[in-house]
Chains A and B, each alone.
Chain A
């Protein structure tokens, strides 16, 4: 299957700082990527849809000024958590859809980034 990478895999930061998370599709182009957040023992919650060359589409309740998304190319999307606070501590996961023929529609996830805000 297709490969999606995320960097960093784990980050610890102080309250008030900003953290950037990168999501890359390694062997396919993804015009659309998705950012999810998952708190312990809860389901994945879609935060926003990242679109190459245009603004991200945020889900209701997600602050666009706090979670900045930039889809700079067909293989890279970044999520920046600005002025992070302890309640932002979570598991952030990106995904990308592989629409190459022969496999149908398949959405692959990156390995996730565990953010801890002190």
Chain B
């Protein structure tokens, strides 16, 4: 099975930087996704990490350490529209490579 742990809620100021941490335990690991989900909408893809290290994509970066079962999502130059839930989702390596979602981190960006 899989166990995913990330903070339930975070608050940050517009223009600032915020880091959302995620630890996970999986029976087999084949990469980790980060998604953004606004209330009432489906998740949108942000990043996929399979190798250790930092992947940068515009204002968003994602880091992975496979040995530590740890990932983080870094959001820079926060904007009000970044207020959403951020879902850490590891993918297992067996069978159909299922992706499991935690409850996500609800980020509120304030002026």
Contact A105 B31 (CB under 8 A): yes
Contact B87 A44 (CB under 8 A): yes
Tell me, in angstroms, the Cα distance from A112 to B42 when the chains sit together.
6
Task: Find residues 1-57 in chain B having any chain A CB closer than 8 Å to their own CB.
Answer: 30-31, 33, 35, 40-45, 48, 50
Q: Mark A25-45, 1 if CB is under 8 A from B, else 0.
A: 000000010101000001111
CB distance from B88 to the nearest CB of A (A): 10
Q: For chains A and B in complex, what number of residue pairs have CB atoms within 8 angstroms?
A: 56
CB distance from B80 to the nearest CB of A (A): 22
Tell me, in angstroms, the Cα distance from A32 to B48 when the chains sit together.
18
Task: Find residues 56-111 in chain B having any chain A CB closer than 8 Å to their own CB.
Answer: 87, 91, 95-104
Task: Find residues 77-95 in chain A having any chain B CB closer than 8 Å to their own CB.
Answer: 91, 93, 95
Q: Which residue of A lies closest to B98 (CB)?
A: A46
Chain A residues with Cβ below 8 Å from B42 are 91, 93, 109-112
Contact B87 A108 (CB under 8 A): no
Most B CB within 10 A of own CB, among A44, A51, A95: A44
Q: Mark A100-118, 1 if CB is under 8 A from B, else 0.
A: 0000111111111000000
Of the candidates A42, A57, A109, the one whose C-beta lies within 8 Å of that of B43 is: A109
Chain A interface mostly: strand
| Interface residue ranges, A against B (CB under 8 Å) | 1, 32, 34, 36, 42-46, 49, 51, 57, 91, 93, 95, 97, 104-112
| Interface residue ranges, B against A (CB under 8 Å) | 30-31, 33, 35, 40-45, 48, 50, 87, 91, 95-104
**Could you list 28 examples of A-B contacts with CB < 8 Å?**
A1-B45, A32-B96, A36-B101, A42-B103, A43-B101, A43-B102, A44-B43, A46-B99, A46-B100, A49-B95, A49-B98, A57-B96, A91-B40, A93-B43, A95-B99, A97-B97, A104-B48, A105-B91, A106-B48, A107-B91, A108-B45, A109-B35, A109-B43, A109-B45, A110-B42, A111-B41, A111-B42, A112-B41
Beyond A45-B101, A51-B96: 10 further Cβ-contacts under 8 Å? Answer: A44-B43, A44-B87, A46-B100, A49-B98, A57-B96, A93-B43, A105-B31, A107-B33, A109-B45, A111-B42
